[in-house]
Chain A
Amino acid sequence: MSQDTARLRVKTWLFATVVILSNVLGNFFLKKGMPGSLGSPLEYVTVLFRPYVALGVALLILWTLARMTLLSWADLSYVLPVTAVGYVLVALEGRLWLHEAITVKRWAGIALIMAGVALVSAGTAPRTFKDKAHSEGAAE
């Protein structure tokens, strides 16, 4: 049983990392590749062939798939706060690439988010619901 819990934890951490990074990087590349404004309806399609936009879309598809996979075993009330680390990374992004200063208010927000993530990820198990899906699935 404890071995099963450990296995679930490793799997959850791995997929949570993929979910967070693919979302943050996907949005980053999408923003980088998007022109200021889109004119004709055709542009909405042709924009997808820009390398950065295509990379961004691919990462966001990966994000959706990884998130769905993660939710196949982990609690929604666990996944939600834990993947909020993405907001922190977005806040730090400006400082890393654009050398923007981070205001005190933002640091306070980052601290609160990280505290929330720490409480949930260290204090609770990734799965608390009874996994009866397999027996139900077999009955379908």
Chain B
Amino acid sequence: MRWIFIAITVAATTAGEVLQAMGMRRHGEIHDFRPGALGRAAALIVRNEFVIGAWIAMGVSFFAYLALLSVSELSFAVPATAVTYVLETALAKYLLHEHVNWLRWMGAALVVCGVALVSL
């Protein structure tokens, strides 16, 4: 059962974060931090399909993670879901066309191992 919850959590988290990055990228760099401009940006962002999709996926991820925590320990759930770092880095390269060089791959791999060690 817990593997199903892990699969759903990982898939939904990955989809949510990648969609959020896509949505924010489509919006473009936020550089005006005056309240009026931020309000206008917010009004555009809440109507951004990618961002709406991201929030739905993150909602699914939240409840799937709660379900996972109800059947397993935190020391299992945290490292198991850290796989999202590698998946999202791969999607950042192929979907978001980011320049993922070996430093970034190494960084993501070190973080996954580190998170596993810290929480095991």
Contact = CB atoms under 8 A, between A and B. Distances in A.
Interface residues of B, number: 41
Contacts of B98: 75-78, 128-129
A133 interface: yes
Interface string A101-134: 0000110111111111101100110001111011
Contacts of A81: 85, 104, 107-108, 110-111
Nearest to B26: A133
A5 to B, nearest CB: 13
A108 B29 CA distance: 37
Contact of A128 (B17, B99, B106, B110): B99
Max chain A Cβ within 10 angstroms of own Cβ: one of B28, B51, B98, B114: B114
Q: Is the interface of B mostly helix, strand, loop or mixed?
A: helix
B97 interface: yes
A36 interface: no
Interface stretch (B2-10, B64-72, B86-94): B86-94
Interface of B: 17-18, 20-21, 24-30, 45, 51, 85, 88-89, 91-93, 96-101, 103-104, 106-111, 113-120
Given A76-B98, A113-B114, 19 more contacts: A68-B20, A68-B45, A72-B24, A72-B28, A72-B29, A80-B88, A80-B111, A81-B111, A87-B115, A106-B117, A112-B113, A112-B117, A119-B110, A124-B103, A124-B104, A133-B26, A133-B29, A136-B26, A136-B28
